Amino acid sequence: MMASKPTYEDLRGRVKELEKEAAKSKAAEEALRASEKRLSEIMDGSSIPTFVIDRDHVITHYNRAMENLTGTSANQIIGTRKQWMAFYAEERPILADLVVDNASGDEIARLYGIKCRKSEVIEGAYEAEDFFPDLGERGRWLFFTAAPLRDTEGSVKGALETLQDISQRKQAEEAHLKAERLYRTLLDFAPYPIVVFTLDGRVSYLNPAFTEIFGWTFKELEGKRIPYVPQELQQETSENIKKLFEEKIILRHETKRLTKDGRTLDVVMRAAVFAEDDDEPAGELVILRDVTDQNRIERNNEAMLRISMALPEYPDLEELLDYISSEVIRRLGTEGAVVVLLDEQRQEIFFPGVAYDDTITQRRVKGVRLPIEQMDQVVAGKGARLGEPVILNDTSTVDRSYPIRDEKLGYETRSFLQVPLKSGDRIIGFLTAINKKEGSFEQPDVELLSTIAGTVVLSIENARFSEELKQAYKEVSSLNRA
């Protein structure tokens, strides 16, 4: 049975339906063109360099900001797959290509390394920054983001990439790093200890001179507070920090600081508050100068000057030696000091110069005379024989002790420093500082005591010479009377 032919009315209705569909399609096309035109106008009006590729990697949009950045016109590049030409000397995928292809993280890392990362804002998007030597006269640093374009069903239909010229920022960062390297080099070569603190007093930098003087390394102290303020100076330090933030600078402040091994140093400190942005305080710069030796030399010179000026005031030798012994305990910070002399005629040792915190002990020592064979129980025998200074900071660490001296003189010897009294090549006695009150005897103490010992010897020799002159005068007078 043959199908019936469509009637005229049927054909007419079908034509009208097709006309309606064509009208709808035309309207859709016009709407799409209008939408694309609006998108192009929006992109062209944007100051952000932007381009779009479709799923076939063909460039569909390329705005004016992009033209200005790359020097390539939209007419030259739209409709091509040459998006790489603006950035690279050889053909290779750019970030938008990788997003369209849904490339793996390994593939993206192979091309961009650690300079590229996933966007935290847009799913499937990546962002990176890199230097492009072929852009502009000297190359340009760009920050760029590529994001997928999806249809209503979520399928990737292309990618949009935006770029930002960050060359000025990078140049500023490089200039900052260069300046920082320069300043760090200058600080590293500075002869004085320098520390940079954060606002809350933690170390952000210290130079090699600080390590050399105080013992701590930057690795040990980075991000920490320096435990170098003596307990008795904590309050003073807090007040000075407050003053520093009020006045922004401290030109000179003499104080004391501890070293890693527990020594106390005299230091001159200079400090300033520095700012980075908007004149807001960013930290503290502290410069320290170790003046321990300088102060010691000044104090020693003052002590020797006092002793020298006092010589005429003490015509009696024992009184002079007592005075010198008192200077020893004052300058070295000891409980006692004695001048031990050898009486070769009587083969005895005695103590013409004595100073002690305990006056009873001082009077007792004055009257003591011991047989010369017991000298090793009074002074360090080896040092006595060799005529060398001897330091013993803890008598409990040696086998031999000094029971006769302690019993006869009436005190306990815990530590001592002994230097010989030499007249030419002959040892005539010893100058001994006993029981350091704080810390231990050190080389500067040896130097000071040895210097004072020279004055003691000179005083003894002068007294003996004076006595010999008196004796000779008596003999001459006796002969004249005869």
pLDDT at position 135: 86
Q: What is the pLDDT of residue 32?
A: 52
Mapping DSSP onto H, E and C, the string for the chain reads CCCCCCCHHHHHHHHHHHHHHHHHHHHHHHHHHHHHHHHHHHHHHCCCCEEEEECCCCEEEECHHHHHHHCCCHHHHCCCCCHHHHCCCCCCCCHHHHHHCCCCHHHHHHHHHHHEEECCCCCCCEEEEEEECCCCCCCEEEEEEEEEEECCCCCEEEEEEEEEECHHHHHHHHHHHHHHHHHHHHHHHCCCCEEEECCCCCEEEECHHHHHHHCCCHHHHECCCCCCCCHHHHHHHHHHHHHHHHHCEEEEEEEEEECCCCCEEEEEEEEEEEECCCCCEEEEEEEEEECHHHHHHHHHHHHHHHHHHHHHHCCCHHHHHHHHHHHHHHHHCEEEEEEEEEECCCCEEEEEEEEECCHHHHHHHHCCEEEHHHHHHCCCHHHHHHCCCEEECCHHHCCCCCHHHHHHHCCCCCCEEEEEEEECCEEEEEEEEEEECCCCCCHHHHHHHHHHHHHHHHHHHHHHHHHHHHHHHHHHHHHHHC
Mean pLDDT by runs of 10 across the 482 residues of the chain is 63 67 63 60 77 93 90 91 90 93 88 87 90 87 92 88 91 84 82 93 94 95 95 93 91 94 93 81 92 88 82 81 89 90 83 84 79 68 69 75 63 86 85 89 89 83 61 51 53
What pLDDT score was predicted for residue 313? 80
Assigned CATH class of 38-166: alpha beta
**pLDDT at site 38:** 67
Task: Output the pLDDT for position 4.
Answer: 63
Topology agreement, domain 190-290 and domain 314-477 = yes
Q: Identify the pLDDT of residue 459.
A: 78
| CATH 2.60.40.10 fits domain 314-477 | no
In this structure, which CATH number among 3.20.20.140, 3.30.450.20, 3.30.365.10, 3.40.50.300 belongs to the domain 190-290? 3.30.450.20
Q: Where are the domains of the chain?
A: 38-166, 190-290, 314-477
pLDDT of residue 473: 47
pLDDT digits (tens, 9 = 90+) for 143-175: 999 999 988 888 899 999 999 999 889 888 888
State the pLDDT at residue 278.
66
